[in-house]
Amino acid sequence: MEIPVYMINGFLESGKTKFIKTTLEDPEFINGDRILLIVCEEGEEEYDEAKFKRKNIFTVYIDSREEYTPEKLLELNAEYHPDKVIIEVNGVWNMQEILGMSMPNGWMMVQLITMVDASTFMNYINNMRSLIMEQIKYSDTVILNRCNASIKKTDVRRIIKPVNRKAQIIYESADGTDMSGEEEDELPFDVNADPIVIEDDDFGLWYLDILDFPKKYNGKNICFKAMFFRDAKMHKDTFVPGRFAMQCCANDIGFIGFSARIPSYYADFLAEHKNRDWIYVEAEIRIEFRREYKGKGPVLYVKKLEDSIRAEEEIVYFT
């Protein structure tokens, strides 16, 4: 039998405990199941363990990273025989280590949620960026709580999406009201132009915008300057025009781009170019299913390819 595991992480006082308590008040989530709650960090807000026990919710505290081991989880599984597991992760633990650690047979990680206090988010980004990015980059959902009307969602998205494309971002006010909605960037290029012209400094903004709002670009023509990239595993008519981008910090620079397909008369162009060559691309954007996206995503159908001078700033930033 598969036992779903939900991990909740975030810094101390980020709202983890309150979120878990609210979740455990939901009859649909409880559903008569035996639930094991593993608490790895204690803040000011506490759990009502006696109340939990009456609902078949069993609370266990783990005080140190050294105590959080595969053996300890096996022991808890044998003692409590849970149908569901919630783990409140200590905010300073290494999430890569936690997620890479083996779990008892049947335990299945189904969701990692990161809680963020919106009132301190930018302060953490400015002073402890690598720590908060470590939490966010593996998350399925990022919940910014304690938001107010001054929160700039576009700035938040530009910070989170480069390190975690798949993360859903939810905004909540102090009283728990959903403040999400869709908020599009004020873009420095005209999405109604034909073609849409992406200047060198705007590649990162276009990249984020098409990921979040792909339908807006479907069927439109675009032109931009990029680096050439291709490997032996790609189909003979496929390559990726893209740029190197700073995704988290200076030590976390990666290549970003989208799959592009060429007409047959550009076959020699692909054969003659090597990775990191600068090129100019004109293409039609189509939103299609692609294996590398594991779903639908932008595919560029090339209309024109030619050599280009390099961009003045080779690294892309998402601002």
The two structure tokens encoding residue 155? 């700035």
pLDDT by residue for the chain (319 residues), tens only, comes to 799 999 999 998 899 999 999 999 999 999 999 999 999 998 778 899 999 999 999 999 999 999 999 999 999 999 999 999 999 999 899 999 999 999 999 999 999 999 999 988 888 888 888 888 888 989 999 999 999 888 888 788 888 888 887 788 999 988 878 887 655 557 889 999 999 999 999 999 899 889 888 999 999 999 999 999 999 889 999 999 999 987 665 566 889 999 999 999 999 999 999 999 999 999 999 999 887 777 889 999 999 999 999 999 988 877 6
Please name which of 90, 49, 83 lies closest in space to residue 67, comparing C-alpha atoms: 90
pTM summary value: 0.70
Q: What is the pLDDT of residue 211?
A: 87
How far apart CA 162 and CA 255 sit, in angstroms, is: 11
Q: Which residue type occupies 220?
A: K
Query: 92-124: b or e for each residue (b if 16 or more CB lie within 10 Å)?
Result: ebebeebeeeebbeebeeeebbbbbbbebbeeb
Q: For residue 223, what are the β-bridge partners?
A: 197, 282
**Structural domains in the chain plus CATH codes:** 3-173 (3.40.50.300), 196-316 (2.40.50.140)
DSSP state of 29: H
What does the pLDDT read at residue 291? 79
